[in-house]
Amino acid sequence: MANCLTFSDQLAPMSALGPEAGLAARTPSGPVIPPTDLHVGIVTSTADETRAITFFAAQGLRARGIGAPYLGRRIYVGPFTTAGALEGGAALARAAGFAYPYPGKM
């Protein structure tokens, strides 16, 4: 369960990352891939959902959450169209406090 959910205190690194942190995720590099979303994690509150979406938007990335109250909110970022940008998005998510981002369909 530890890697499944991301709790508020785990997102503390987001506040230390400036807008340049998302450069690799915004910059097309490497092989072209079909449009691919990145499932960055599941947060446990709508407040954390808003924090995450706001953070990724400030990085120049599309982010959205899906889920139901009290069941957690899945956070998706993308779509990415190059392998390098996808890996940059995953690295950004890990730096922001998400333990296990992975490519996934929304």
pLDDT, one tens digit per residue, over 45-101 is 999 999 999 999 999 999 999 997 778 999 999 999 999 999 999 999 999 999 999
Q: Is 31 exposed, middle or buried (0-12, 13-18, 19+ CB in 10 A)?
A: exposed
Please tell me the number of Cα atoms within 13 Å of 75 on its side-chain side: 35
The strand ranges marked E within 15-71 are 32-43, 63-68
Establish if 80 belongs to a structural domain: yes
Q: Is the pLDDT confidence value at 27 over 60?
A: yes
Residue 105's DSSP bridge partners are none
- What's the pTM? 0.92
Q: Is the pLDDT confidence value at 2 over 60?
A: no
Number of structural domains (the chain) is: 1
Establish if 23 belongs to a structural domain: no
Establish if 19 belongs to a structural domain: no
Establish if 5 belongs to a structural domain: no
pLDDT at 70: 74
Backbone torsions φ then ψ of 38, nearest 5 degrees: -115, 120
CATH number for 54: 3.30.70
- Candidates 43, 36, 29; CA nearest to 75 is 43
Establish if 13 belongs to a structural domain: no
The answer to whether the bond into 69 is cis (omega within 30° of 0) is: no
Per the structure, the complete domain to which residue 83 belongs is given by: 34-106
